[in-house]
Amino acid sequence: MGALSLRQNPAQNERIPRNPYVPELNAPADVRAAFEAAHAATQDLTRRPDNATLLKLYALYKQATEGDIRRERPGLSDLVGRAKWDAWAALRGTPTEEAMRNYAELVDTLE
């Protein structure tokens, strides 16, 4: 009887590197819960935050949920898109957990 030959793709057996910006992998449960509660609380604010605060919230949320920005900066005619891109890009390198904590803390200061 001949030897059983298994053809395996070595790439499938390699360990997938850990992404430091994936919230499910790096954020402790309490931080993630506070972040999710803060995000839900933004729907119930009695007053609309000023534009600078909205940009900060946007940037922290994107950094917490997607990590570093990987998109090209919008063109000159897209002023809002550029402002959002700039706010998010300013947080480049911020760890997920820190972005989640900062987001929750900022929401706590809002009415």
pTM: 0.75
| HEC readout, the chain | CCCCCCCCCHHHHCCCCCCCCCHHHHCCHHHHHHHHHHHHHHHHCCCCCCHHHHHHHHHHHHHHHHCCCCCCCCCCCCHHHHHHHHHHHCCCCCCHHHHHHHHHHHHHCCC
42-58 pLDDT per residue, tens: 999 999 999 999 999 99
pLDDT average, residue stretch 30-51: 94
pLDDT confidence of residue 89 = 98
Domains, the chain, in order of start with CATH, read 22-108 (1.20.80.10)
High-pLDDT (> 90) share of the chain, %: 72
